[in-house]
Amino acid sequence: MYTHLFTPAKLGNMELKNRMIVPAAVTRLAGSDGNTTEGFIRYHEDKARGGWAMLITEDIPILPTCKTYACLPGLWADGQVASHRAFTARIHAAGSKVCAQIYHAGRLAPRALNGAAPKAPSAVGSPFTPETPTELTVEEIGELTAAFAAAARRAKEAGYDAVELHGAHGYLIHQFLSANTNKRSDKYGGSLRGRCRFMTEVVAAVRRAVGEDYPLLVRLSIVDYAPGGLTLSDSRVIARAAQEAGVDAIDCSNGTTEANYAIIPPVEAPRALYVDNAAAIKAVVDVPVIAVGRINEPGLADSVLAAGKADFVAMMRASVADPDLPNKAREGREEEIAHCIGCLQGCLGQNRRLEPFTCMVRPLTGHAHEDEILPAATPKKVLVIGGGVAGCEAAIYAAMRGHKVTLCEKSDRLGGRWIAAAIPPKKAEYNSFLAWQGVMLEKYGVEVKLNCAVTAEQAAQWKPDAIILAAGCADAVPPIPGVDGPQVVKAEDVLLERCEVGKRVVVIGGGLVGAETANYLAQTRKKQVSIVEMLPRIVADGEPSPTLFLKRDLEEYHVAIYTGAKVTEIGADYVRLTQEDKMLTLDADTVVLAAGLRSDKTLENALAALNIPLIAAGDAHDGKNGLKNIREGFLAGIHV
């Protein structure tokens, strides 16, 4: 099975044991001084043990003044080599090759972080940085070329098996390649050949620094998906120029800062959506090509290789969700693979929030050095109340530690509110997490009791050594006249088809739940839908890339949106609201409440009186944040 995926292949003169590569992603786990840390090492080491052929580090700055983020690994000084050598030794011992991705952020290197003004091919500003960069002189371009070569030399000295030049995603090399950011009229600008010159000179300088037999890759954005950006036709020429300059492989990414959603596509985007771009590059070069972009299952990855679209597949988010994916696939344990669901909460979202990298479906990611899962010194009898995703996570990890766990869920199935979250358009992959939890509950012997509501008295009769409470929250009901009418229903009931919905629908609440419910009603049920939201914008609680796709759907399916608005009355067939001191009346056969959740401490207070160790987990005190809920369930399970 997966014969293409597990066939060894060469990248330059380096043989990789299979075709699965972990591409670069910013983790914020390295030290602020550019040295590696235990957290950084463990994050990669878990993947090396998991069977990946090669790991590519996140972007390593070639200078201390060219970073986009803090806490990146660095190779701008010889003194950093020792910590990187310790890192590569651990990765090699765990069974994988490791490649250093080196970069310069150009105009995306903010002064506030780097202490110096950003420099770029041309004085063209970015919407993501407040300062217009200074145009590089020809002399400075030569200095940067030398800095790339010096960083590559250090990478080789540190034991890296290969170096990748980051020429994608709107960073410096990409800025030279794109006519949007390169307005030069000298030999480094103008024609596509001129715009390629910096890249080819860097490749040549790095090649001289590391030698002819050392593997050298370049990562390119094959299509920018931004007006005036690089096209597939451009990138065919660029890839051939890179090969002629001396690279051993083309890593085919996509997107740029103006189309950030294309760099890391969310669940709303098709899977393996860029493989044809990689195939187009493979058709014009003689070096291996790496495909990337929503390739999140081994069967899908194998099919890309079988179709001849690429020579290797890069699976970053898949490796984040389950570092052991290759081993599990090779051993026939596919049902135990935790799949990336494309939510972008723990990876891209944490970077946006300036927090360390993690994963919603694998809370151990980024925390492996802090949260060891160790056998319990004294196995306990543990009662978990609530079978939502937080409760299931707590039960799984408590059982993994050797505790005897009973999980009680008041409804007839596990999953809680997550069941409804998987129903809106393009969200079906969320179900893979519920399926994984079911497999793991069975594997670790958790006793699951459905249709089993637990009171404090019943909990005491079980005589557990510890109780984990993950009983969930109740829907918030805003104090609006008419809110108790028969035509007023909850968003969860709509998504689970528990109620009838009329033709004209008003959704009260434009957060993620309300907007996704409105999208479901308009797109799937063909209803006439309006959203009323008090805040100035809808989906303020969503991640930017998924929200972009969601808003496109709402526009396409003609959902009316009223922001900065407050509902003042719900009638039998209307909803009245105020917006900017104006009173509006909307026709409504059905009104959907999506106004958030509220905590109910009644059961928690009753359990606390039993004098049995009690841990409140996940949605017992915040049902709105999936990342937080699952993380808290996980922590409850390993600390019980």
Contacts for 601 with CB less than 8 Å, ≥ 6 apart: none
Distance CA 471, CA 408 (A): 10
Distance CA 471, CA 518 (A): 27
Supply the pLDDT for residue 201.
Answer: 98
Q: What is the mean pLDDT of residues 374-393?
A: 97
Say if residue 621's pLDDT is above 70.
Answer: no
Say if residue 465's pLDDT is above 70.
Answer: yes
Distance CA 118, CA 108 (A): 7
Sign (positive or negative) of CA dihedral 445, 450, 456, 459? negative
Exposure class string for 495-514: b at 16+ Cβ within 10 A, else e: beeeeebeebbbbbbbbbbb
Q: Is 213 exposed, middle or buried (0-12, 13-18, 19+ CB in 10 A)?
A: exposed
Look up tokens 């009680």; give the residue.
Answer: 408
Q: Which helix (H) or strand (E) holds 119?
A: strand 119-120
Supply the pLDDT for residue 619.
Answer: 56
Supply the pLDDT for residue 620.
Answer: 39
Q: Among candidates 70, 145, 58, which has minimal Cα distance to 102?
A: 58
Q: Is 271 exposed, middle or buried (0-12, 13-18, 19+ CB in 10 A)?
A: middle
Helix, strand or coil, per DSSP, at residue 583: strand
Structure-block tokens of residue 232: 């597939």
Supply the pLDDT for residue 352.
Answer: 85
CA 32: distance to chain centroid? 23
Distance CA 108, CA 125 (A): 9
- Whether 2 sits among the annotated catalytic residues: the reply is no
- pLDDT level of residue 380 (50, 70, 90 thresholds): very high
Q: What is the mean pLDDT of residues 53-62?
A: 97
Q: Among candidates 278, 272, 275, 274, which has minimal Cα distance to 251?
A: 278
Ranking 221-225, 362-366, 458-462, 598-602 by mean pLDDT, the lowest is 598-602
In order of 78, 421, 627, the CA distances from 364 in angstroms are: 32, 23, 12
Distance CA 46, CA 56 (A): 14
Phi, psi for 172 (deg, rounded to 5): -55, -50
Distance CA 413, CA 409 (A): 7
Other CB atoms within 10 Å distance of the CB of residue 307: 13
In order of 510, 553, 561, 588, 598, the CA distances from 535 in angstroms are: 8, 20, 11, 21, 19
Other CB atoms within 10 Å distance of the CB of residue 43: 26
Give pTM, 2 decimals: 0.95
Could you list the beta-strand ranges (E) of 424-573. Answer: 447-449, 466-469, 474-475, 488-490, 504-508, 528-532, 560-562, 565-570
Supply the pLDDT for residue 318.
Answer: 98
Q: How does DSSP classify residue 422? A: T
Other CB atoms within 10 Å distance of the CB of residue 364: 20
- Which is the catalytic residue, given 171, 225, 397, 520? 171
Other CB atoms within 10 Å distance of the CB of residue 258: 19
pLDDT digits (tens, 9 = 90+) for 504-545: 999 999 999 999 999 999 999 999 999 999 999 999 999 999
Distance CA 482, CA 576 (A): 11
Q: What is the mean pLDDT of residues 466-470?
A: 97
User: Where do the H-state alpha helices sit in 596-625?
Assistant: 602-608
How far the first Cα of the chain sits from its last, in Å, is: 40
Structure-block tokens of residue 10: 């060469």
DSSP string, 246-292: T-SEEEEE---GGGHHHHS--TTSPTTTTHHHHHHHHTT-SS-EEEE
Distance CA 122, CA 68 (A): 18
CA dihedral 129, 135, 138, 140 (to 10 degrees): -50
Amino acid at 343: C
- pLDDT level of residue 432 (50, 70, 90 thresholds): very high
- pLDDT level of residue 42 (50, 70, 90 thresholds): very high
Supply the pLDDT for residue 435.
Answer: 98
Say if residue 234's pLDDT is above 60.
Answer: yes
Give the number of residues written for the chain: 640
Say if residue 623's pLDDT is above 70.
Answer: no
Q: Is 497 left (phi over 0), alpha (psi -120 to 50) or beta?
A: left
Distance CA 194, CA 242 (A): 13
Supply the pLDDT for residue 236.
Answer: 98
Q: How does DSSP classify residue 124? A: -
Look up tokens 């959603």; give the residue.
Answer: 261
CA dihedral 427, 428, 434, 438 (to 10 degrees): -170
Supply the pLDDT for residue 624.
Answer: 44
pLDDT digits (tens, 9 = 90+) for 289-340: 999 999 999 999 999 999 999 999 999 999 999 999 999 999 999 999 999 9
Say if residue 277's pLDDT is above 50.
Answer: yes
Query: What rounded mean pLDDT belongs to the chain?
Result: 96
- pLDDT level of residue 116 (50, 70, 90 thresholds): very high
**What percentage of the chain has pLDDT greater than the value 90?**
93
Q: Is 85 exposed, middle or buried (0-12, 13-18, 19+ CB in 10 A)?
A: middle
Amino acid at 245: A
Amino acid at 551: K
pLDDT digits (tens, 9 = 90+) for 471-505: 988 889 999 999 999 999 999 999 999 999 999 99
Amino acid at 270: P
Q: How does DSSP classify residue 468? A: E
Structure-block tokens of residue 508: 């009260």
